[in-house]
Amino acid sequence: MNITRRALLKRGLLSSAGLVLAGGLASPVGLLRAAPSIVSPWVEPFQAPLPIPPVLQPVSSDTTTDYYEMTQKVGQAHILPGLITPIWGYNGIFPGPTIEARCGCRVVIRQMNELPVPVSTHLHGGIVSPENDDDPTDLIWPATSDQGARRRRQKDMQDTSLQSGMKDYIYLNNQSNATLWYHDHRMNFTGPQIYKGLAGFYLLKDELEEQLPLPTGERDIPIMIVDRIFRTDGSLFYPSLDPTLTTTPGVWEAYQNGVCGDTILVNGALQPFFEVANTRYRFRLLNASNARQFRLALSTEQPFVQVGSDGGLLPAPVSRRTIDIAQAERCDVLIDFSDYPIGTQIVLKNLWGTGRTADIMRFDVVRQEEDESVVPSQLAPLDAPDITSVEAIRAFRFLMHHDKGTINGKSFDAHRTDALLRLNASEIWELMGNGDHPIHIHNALFQVLDRDGDPPDPHECGLKDIIFLRKGECARILVRFTDYRGPYVFHCHNLEHEDMGMMSRFEVV
Ligand code: C2O
Ligand code: CU
Ligand code: CU
């Protein structure tokens, strides 16, 4: 338990605002990957059509800016046949609405909080100023009409940055095209809050991308994959812990790998099907799971053509029979259905899954259409990493120990700065851990230099904001913080690891 969690507990905030509402108290026993104590109701796969999250329209626009509004609230999802699943969603839906932004054009999103808990909204992969990033302790408190309660809360937290009810986030979008996503980032509760549905796509587009003959429009589809556990009444099961149990030996060990579900959802639907023409499609894959990695493959063994990763288009397309995707990673792939006769069904498999987690979704080739798309030989030019002007070399060790996640031996403390980094300086970070850790850095896109001394595979040669480390593996990345000075964080994107403190704050000076 880190200091802040303890402080929150003392103030009675953790149990009142967090745990009970985050998913209810449940037996902490049996939360291991292999043996969840609750098994989701069985549902026949490929019965639901793939939902495509609606694109949000701005409430107004001027010459420089599109203004959006979103309300975070409780919603009702129809995921299991005949049952209602209460969720927490941006505008009450899961996934939240998609934002389509243009590089270089400003976006302002007013986030309103009608949930019963504080929230914090982060644009993952965005280069944004510290006030807009959102620091995990920068909370939007639930809207309340009780002024007294609001004042007491602000006084109690002694933090003037606290806002009640809403916050405007400003994103300048001074970066290249990329599939970004937004999600909750509330300190200690990111896991349960994303699990309940607080995640959506933010697609950043530019001319470079539009000039390429890639599939567009109805053939450019965002795909958010998550795993979840459902109770028999249709509600989501997140194994929350009663904080008073944390001293009981053995309890936290059950969480060490994070929370994995036994059921796969794609864009919020259970193992859906998607009807396609016999043409090429672009799928922007995002693994928004708390703790699960996927190894994706097509049942026909046809290779994917990967064209993009976290930071946008790759320098050149890469053909891959399997795609490993860790939490929060994005993989932009093309699948060409032109060789299949009408009537063919192709399953997107998870080779690391078993039983129900082995099938993700199905593509049904149902119609014939013209296709003007081409796989370009070059995509987005990117210079090879240049290490001649590196100013600093840092090593970070990621360790889980019982209920504590640490980076270089320390758990996250919102009041401690672990490193000072110079603006625009190139640095080499050497990353290593005692388990599987997808490491994510805020406000920077980096290049992978090597893994255990070997140069990265071609699909890792684009700009990244997440790097997946296998147990004991050592990776080196070249990172540079540009645009803004101020405090940011980096952390493990296994959300339970993050919530247990595997996060660190640095300051760009
Ligand atoms: Cu995807 Cu710090 O987050
Ligand atoms: Cu992020
Ligand atoms: Cu981790």
Which helix (DSSP H) or strand (DSSP E) does residue 497 occupy? helix 495-499
Query: What's the whole-number mean pLDDT along residues 115-134?
Result: 94
Max distance between CA atoms of the chain, in angstroms, equals 67
At residue 445, does pLDDT exceed 50?
yes
Q: Which of 141, 297, 125 shows the shortest CA–CA distance to 199?
A: 125
Q: Which atom of ligand 1 is nearest to the CA of 136?
A: 2
- The pLDDT tens digits for 324-377 are 999 999 999 999 999 999 999 999 999 999 999 999 999 999 999 999 999 999
State how far the Cα of 145 lies from the Cα of 16, in Å rounded to an integer.
18
Q: Give the burial class of 415: count Cβ atoms within 10 A of its Cβ; 0-12 exposed, 13-18 middle, 19 or more buried.
A: exposed
Cα 468 to ligand 3 centroid, rounded to whole Å:
9
Ligand nearest to the CA of 444: 2
Query: What's the whole-number mean pLDDT along residues 212-234?
Result: 97
Q: How confident is the model at residue 161 (pLDDT cuts 50, 70, 90)?
A: very low
Cα 122 to ligand 2 centroid, rounded to whole Å:
6
Cα 307 to ligand 3 centroid, rounded to whole Å:
27
- 121 φ, ψ (degrees, to nearest 5): -115, 125
Which helix (DSSP H) or strand (DSSP E) does residue 388 occupy? none
Contact in structure between 509 and 421 (CB atoms under 8 Å) = yes
Using DSSP's 3-state secondary structure scheme, residue 33 falls into coil
Nearest CA to ligand 1 atom 3: 124
Number of DSSP helices (H) and strands (E) in the chain, helices first: 7, 33
Contact in structure between 326 and 289 (CB atoms under 8 Å) = no
Residues lining ion ligand 2 (Cβ < 5 A) are 124, 442
State how far the Cα of 285 lies from the Cα of 200, in Å rounded to an integer.
12
- The pLDDT tens digits for 374-433 are 999 999 999 999 999 999 999 999 999 877 899 999 999 999 999 999 999 999 999 999
pLDDT of 4 reads 40
Ligand nearest to the CA of 287: 1
Pull the structure tokens for residue 276: 């396609």
With a Cβ cut-off of 6 Å, ligand 1 is lined by: 122, 124, 183, 185, 328, 440, 442, 491, 493
Nearest CA to ligand 1 atom 2: 442
Cα 31 to ligand 2 centroid, rounded to whole Å:
27
Using DSSP's 3-state secondary structure scheme, residue 101 falls into strand
Q: Which atom of ligand 1 is nearest to the CA of 183?
A: 1
pLDDT of 143 reads 79
Contact in structure between 25 and 19 (CB atoms under 8 Å) = yes
Q: Which of 481, 493, 204 shows the shortest CA–CA distance to 332?
A: 204
Ligand nearest to the CA of 439: 3
Residues lining ion ligand 3 (Cβ < 5 A) are 437, 492, 494, 497
Per cent of the chain over pLDDT 90 is 81
**Other residues' Cβ atoms within 10 Å of the Cβ of residue 26:** 17
At residue 77, does pLDDT exceed 90?
yes
Q: Which atom of ligand 1 is nearest to the CA of 181?
A: 1
State how far the Cα of 45 lies from the Cα of 361, in Å rounded to an integer.
8
3-state helix, strand, coil in the chain (%, to 5): 15, 40, 45
- The pLDDT tens digits for 185-200 are 999 899 999 999 999 9
Beta bridge partners of 180: 202
Q: Which atom of ligand 1 is nearest to the CA of 490?
A: 2
Strands (E), 370-425: 390-401, 404-407, 419-421
Residue 245 DSSP label: G
Ligand nearest to the CA of 328: 1
pTM to 2 decimal places: 0.91
Pull the structure tokens for residue 415: 């009041």
Pull the structure tokens for residue 456: 């990265």
